[in-house]
Structure 1
Amino acid sequence: MNKMETVEEREAMSLHQRILADISERILSGEWAPGHRVPFEYELAQQYGCSRMTVNKALSQLAKAGLIERRRRSGSFVRRPQSQAAVLEIHDIKVEVQALGLPYSYALISRQKRKSTADDRVLLDLKQSTPVLDLTCLHRAGARPFCLEQRLISLTAVPEAADESFEEAAPGPWLVGHVPWSTAEHRIRATAAGEEVAAALEIEAGAACLAVERRTWSADHPVTQVRFTYPGDSHMLVARFTPSDGS
């Protein structure tokens, strides 16, 4: 009897893992988009030839992982992943995407080495004209665009950046590994997607977005200015803090 129970448990576990893998793959590949209704428990039980208890266990695990949302009497639906980024940290977008359980990919859209304009000097906090590297990059989470990165790098502060193509790896982690930064400034704002941003993020022009702008310095030398633009419905910022002595 114990041996028979062990076989049944193994079969149930095997089906449980198969259901988890099948549904996760459909979600992470983009086949099932956010809002898609997952088949009802009885439908999945019939499909896999197992008990509803096994199906329920798999769906509960998917809900706990944040891939689906279970609604009473309505069924289960694919959730839109929401990223959390710490306001006061310089984080790696690849790590942020992977924390959602989604595959990460990166693409360089444009790269231009040029002399800084007056606008560049304001953005980078430059006192005088200097050569800059102007980069536009796209980060993806699964099949969906996750974030558009628009970055200026001072080639006076980081001359070796001029020899980097940035086609294989994003500039953020490269800079962190090559230039010790001493000061960083973050600005966070709500914005509407212009045509260029909307096309890159595959959203409608005018759609709400969250823009995170950052400048970093090494000693007193400006290093980089970057603007990360996220679709407004898929990103949140988090800050954790403690009371000050004067509160």
Structure 2
Amino acid sequence: MAGGDSIAKETPALSLHQRILDDIESRILSGGEWLPGHRIPFEHELTEQYGCSRMTVNKALTQLAKAGLIERKRRSGSFVSFPQSQAAILEIHDIRDEVAALGVAYRFELTSRRERLSGPADARHIDMPRHTPLVELVCRHFAGKRVFALEERIISLDAVPTAASTDFAENSPGPPWLVSCVPWSSAKHSIRAIAATQENAGMLGIPLGSPCLVIERQTWNADQPVTHVRFTYPGDSHALVANFTPSTGISGVEKSRRRGTAAAKRQHDLGVGQAARLIASPMMETIVSICSFSTISGGERAITSPVTRISRPFLKQSTKTS
């Protein structure tokens, strides 16, 4: 085996199995030493290098393959996996707090409110069973004199009966009000870019066709839908920021990360015009936040809201989402 691919290390405190995991994982995640498509040394080469059984090597490679770091091909060997798309999902917090952090006055405006029964479109697009009693709300959130976000929300009255008697002219329908009414057990988020339509351009006070960031979320309590909300933000004042750190789900990876042998971090600042979806490698843990930029008082300021984490294979959610 070529000297450049010799990966055995002096770490007597670790088992041979763990050493192989740590060494290969470090080569892949340490900054591009082994890029996607790079062939991992053959099993017999690793067996010779580490002085261990082929079963030990096979066990380590199997774990790396299950974690998505490598791909094993019969007769060809094992190769570093190519990144596979995984959308980074964003947790939305109280808009009032985001605006307050910008140092400008917050104002909430209820534009419309109506009660209705869900129809075929609701069942098809937002997983709301037909004939569910709903409250449908359209609201605007202001930062100073400028519209910060347009909120379009429906709330299931089966899940939140108090919504029927709540005065939303005085209370924003999102957190913290909704969180205090009903807990949630699962959530679905989507992020996309759109061109402002005539309707939402007028509501946001921006030119027709302007880029906008749209974030949609639906939450459930057990199997019961609670709410579906769509936030539309003017694209010139919002951006997505993501920080990436390694995450594979292997116990040895966590040990390596704590020792600093597998540190790899990247930060991307993406404007809405560039992308409304952040794509992460399957071996990455993604931290995503939304930045809001204020030019109202003359100088540009940015505030980054708290973030949500995505890691394979599970989505870790805070208990504050609604």
Bin for the TM-score computed over the shorter chain: 0.5 to 0.7
Letter in 1 for 2:95: I
Identity of aligned residues (%): 57
Name the structure 2 match of 1:193: 196
Q: How does 1:168-187 map to 2 (within 5 A)?
A: 168-173=170-175, 174-187=177-190
Letter in 2 for 1:230: Y
Q: Does 1:122 align with 2:124?
A: yes
| Unpaired stretches in structure 1, ≥5 consecutive residues | 1-85
Q: What per-residue deviation string (whole Å, max 9, x for no partner) do you get for residues 164-205 of structure 1?
A: 120012100211111111111110000011111111111111
Between Structure 1 and Structure 2, the one with more helix by share is 1
Secondary structure at 1:217 match in 2: strand
The structure that has the greater radius of gyration is 2
Q: Normalization by structure 1: what TM-score?
A: 0.62
* Distance of aligned partners of 1:88 and 1:207 in 2 relative to their CA distance in 1, 3 Å threshold: closer
Name the structure 2 match of 1:219: 222
Secondary structure at 2:129 match in 1: coil
* 1:244 positional shift: 1.5
Q: Normalization by structure 2: what TM-score?
A: 0.48
Q: How does 1:48-127 map to 2 (within 5 A)?
A: 87-127=89-129
**In 2: Cα distance, 1:189 partner to 1:107 partner:** 24
* 1:236 positional shift: 1.7
**In 2: Cα distance, 1:105 partner to 1:235 partner:** 18
Conserved 8 A contact 1:191-1:210: yes
Name the structure 2 match of 1:133: 135
Letter in 1 for 2:142: R
Conserved 8 A contact 1:124-1:222: no
* 1:160 positional shift: 1.2
Secondary structure at 1:137 match in 2: strand
**In 1: Cα distance, 2:92 partner to 2:147 partner:** 20
Conserved 8 A contact 1:121-1:129: no
Q: Which has the higher contact order (CA 8 A, sep 6+)?
A: 2
| Unpaired stretches in structure 2, ≥5 consecutive residues | 1-87, 250-282, 284-322
Name the structure 2 match of 1:244: 247
* 1:230 positional shift: 0.5
* 1:91 positional shift: 0.4
Q: What per-residue deviation string (whole Å, max 9, x for no partner) do you get for residues 132-164 of structure 1?
A: 111000000011001000001111111111111
Secondary structure at 1:94 match in 2: helix
